[in-house]
Amino acid sequence: MMDENKKGVGVEATQSPRISRIREYMTAKFPDRTYADDEDFDNAVLEHLKTSDAKIAGNDAANKTIMEVIAAYPEFAEIIEDVAEGVPVRVAIARQFSPDELTVRDGEEDFDAYRKAAEDRSKRLAEINERIHTREKNIAQSKTDVDAFFNEMQMTDQERTAFVDWVDNEVLANLMDGRVNREILIKLYQGWKFDEAVAEARNAGEVEGRNQQIEQKRAHATKTDGLASGGSGAVTVQPQKPSSDFIDEVLTRKSRRKF
């Protein structure tokens, strides 16, 4: 009996530790999010709980307001129920209110408020339509600009797909969610400083080229010093272009200084 008990304790002790159900929930809820340590995980859970509490409080307040309105105007409950069952909004309203009840005439008590509400609605609809029109124009122009950019960069289909995925998932999606991480900041900073970095790289390359010319001329003068001159002895040295990695090195160096 004693041996069996010991055996049972040994089997239990060798079992892998159980994963927290909270961590399983957070992993399923935010599959792309990683946590540096337990404290980072706890902060993420706390942040999620605070956000959820705020949403619940907002929903409770909205529900309270809706119930107060329905208590004062029971017809709204019927309208909401009809719309929820698929009845068109105008039909649902017509089943509860007549056109005369919805029209306020000049001289009536609520006419000024009614007229202002109608004007605000017309203005709001016009602004929405303008934004939709502008967005459609921007989408069409963006497609043209993106295609031109891909052609200019001579990107393959695989490179295009990878680049678009990175922009969508690592930049735009995070920005829309209000999340700005170090990687995004570095990429944006490098783009912001690119022209300056190119100019710095070009100037550095010119200085490096001039220095190399001077060193080559000095070396040539040393070799020919004291020899009979058979010619002018002039040496033509082409300035060397900065290596293709030089700009990247400048950008990296700047990023390290700033971050």
Residue 145 within a domain: yes
Residue 246 within a domain: no
* Three-state SS at 88: coil
Mean pLDDT of all residues belonging to the chain:
79
**CA distance linking residue 108 with residue 104, whole number of Å:** 7
- Give the residue numbers spanning the domain of 123: 105-154
Ordered alpha helix ranges (H), the chain: 2-14, 21-29, 38-72, 75-84, 89-94, 99-102, 111-153, 157-166, 173-176, 182-192, 194-224, 246-258
| Mean pLDDT of all residues in 10-32 | 75
Residue 72 within a domain: no
Residue 74 within a domain: no
- pLDDT-derived band at 229, boundaries 50, 70, 90: very low
Indicate the number of domains in the chain. 1
Residue 140 within a domain: yes
DSSP annotation of 37 reads S
Residue 124 within a domain: yes
**CA distance linking residue 124 with residue 103, whole number of Å:** 20
pLDDT in tens, 136-157: 999 999 889 989 999 998 999 9
- pLDDT-derived band at 87, boundaries 50, 70, 90: very high
| Mean pLDDT of all residues in 218-223 | 62
Residue 219 within a domain: no
Residue 8 within a domain: no
pLDDT in tens, 124-138: 999 999 999 999 999
DSSP annotation of 239 reads P
